[in-house]
Amino acid sequence: MKFKRQLFGFMDMLRFKKMVPTRRKMLAEGPNTPLPQEYRTNVLAKKLHPGYMQVELTAARFVTNTMRELTFKRVDTEEFPFFRAGQYVSIQMKIGDSVVSRPYSIVSTPRQALENKLVLAVENAGFVSGYLNEKAKIGDRFVMTEPSGEFHYETLRDNHHIVCIAGGSGITPFMSMAGSLADGDEPYSMTLFYGARTAAQLAYKAELDALTARCKDLKVVYVLSDEEQAGCEKGFISAELMKKYTDLTDATFFLCGPQAMYDFVDKELAPLNLPKKAMRRDATCCGDLPMEHPGAFKLTVHMRDEVYVLPAKENETLLTSMERAGLNAPNKCRAGGCGFCHSKWLSGSYRVADGRDGRREADRKFGFIHPCVTYPLQDMEIDVPVAY
């Protein structure tokens, strides 16, 4: 073929020749105005996803004998990001020589975040939560990660009606979801079953009663296993009990509580044959392995141009070993799922906590690990990013 657009082929050729001079001219004649320093979309991205936040403890009170509510404000800027009710933050602190952090579901609502207020409630159950319950005082400063997590309502996925089941301190994300619903920011209607041993162990009963009074789409049922109380059900959160209050076939379930509760509810709901999508469970932290005589190993950690050699134990995650040694290794969910601690494995065998291997397929192929759920089986060497 012979391509020709203009009458004479050489005119097409000439036109081709002009492309470079034209572009050269256009580049030289661009406006000599300062290049933008900010872009609206990027400003919003930074607001919603600030990464790490500097926070200060502004108020604290006990909501049960063993659960302390902590209120924070941001000190690096004026407000917390707007988030999705049900999400968590990870709070980091130095205890002794250790640099430690734990994820906690947010109790306060997304609206309150914009008023520079973020509330957590921490059950006294371990090393870090013990510190937050007993030692942390007003005015203390912490590093906090941005709100994260997929335990939240999804308009296009979930049923309009949600059935929430809380066990003990698992009430926290539902406080935010109920509060946000009462604020008028959520499209769902919510029935909350809140289980505890005794009435004294129900945190936030007064707050929930007040929310129920002002929000017609919220219903709360208290279920006590060890005590008879007026206004509360006695027993466990069984299918039969739930059916008394709501339709279970046309709902999406949100569960937050101990593993034993998940197992119980799963069994109760099994006869309904609900699709997988109808059950959403909040993740729980990955702890130590129960082991009588755990092996002791050497863990070599590369962080940028530094190399650290530290002790590791067979029953502790690599993340725990690094924290113990005071290394600032990135982590968020501590449950294997968020991938924030993604690190390169270099040598040494390991095991991943049962049911918690949240790695991508190619991570396994090319030797990447999530230290928050990985236990050493011998001396190991890994390459880990610096958190900040």
160 CB contacts (<8 Å, ≥6 apart)? 187, 188, 189
* The one segment of 198-206, 213-221, 356-364, 373-381 that binds other proteins by CB under 8 A: 356-364
126 binds other proteins (CB under 8 A): no
For position 26 contacting other proteins by CB under 8 A, the verdict is yes
Give residues 175-204 in contact with other proteins (rule: CB under 8 A). Answer: none
> Is 371 a binder of other proteins (CB under 8 A)?
no
Q: For residue 114, which of 77, 149, 70, 88 has the smallest C-alpha distance?
A: 77
Under the binding rule (CB under 8 A), the answer on residue 156 touching other proteins is yes
Cα distance between residue 231 and residue 251, in whole Å: 24
Q: How far is the CB of 253 from other proteins (least distance, A)?
A: 14
Select from 22-30, 128-136, 199-207, 230-238 the region that touches other proteins (CB under 8 A): 22-30
Cβ-Cβ contacts under 8 Å for 59 (sequence gap 6 or more): 70, 71, 138
Nearer to other proteins, 37 or 65 (CB): 37
Widest CA span in the chain: 98
> CB of 250: closest distance to other proteins in angstroms?
12
Smallest gap from Cβ 231 to other proteins, in A, equals 35
By CB under 8 A, is residue 150 in contact with other proteins? yes
- Confirm or reject binding of residue 24 to other proteins (CB under 8 A): yes
One residue of 94, 135, 141, 157 binding other proteins per CB under 8 A: 157
Q: Is 147 in the site for other proteins (CB under 8 A)?
A: no
Residue 48 in the binding site for other proteins (CB under 8 A): yes
Q: How many CA atoms does the CB half-sphere of 372 hold within 13 Å? A: 26
Residue 68 vs 84, nearer CB to other proteins? 84
**Contact positions with other proteins (CB under 8 A) in 296-335:** 304-309, 330
Which of residues 135, 141, 243, 277 is near other proteins by CB under 8 A? 277
Stretch that binds other proteins, among 39-47, 99-107, 124-132, 252-260 (CB under 8 A): 39-47
Smaller CB distance to other proteins: residue 222 or 253?
253
Q: Which of 7, 40, 137, 273: binder of other proteins (CB under 8 A)?
A: 40
Least CB distance to other proteins at residue 209 (A): 28
| Binds other proteins by CB under 8 A, chosen from 87, 345, 363, 372 | 363
Under rule CB under 8 A, residue 388 binds other proteins: yes
Give Cα 62 to chain centroid, integer Å: 23
Shortest separation between residue 99's beta carbon and other proteins, angstroms: 15
In the complex, what is the shortest distance from the CB of residue 67 to other proteins, in angstroms, rounded to a whole number? 29
Q: Which amino acid is at 148?
A: S
Footprint on residues 82-111 left by other proteins (CB under 8 A): 82, 84
Q: Of residues 235-274, which lie at the interface with other proteins (CB under 8 A)? A: none
Compute how many residues bind other proteins; rule: CB under 8 A: 74
**Among 239, 340, 353, 381, which residue sits at the site for other proteins (rule: CB under 8 A)?**
340
Q: Residue 290 and residue 108: Cα distance in Å, rounded?
A: 34
Q: Does 354 bind other proteins (CB under 8 A)?
A: no
User: Given the complex with other proteins, which of 5 and 244 has the nearer CB atom?
Assistant: 5
Residue 150 and residue 335 in contact, taking contact as beta carbons nearer than 8 Å = no
Selected from 78, 115, 154, 263, the binder of other proteins by CB under 8 A is 154
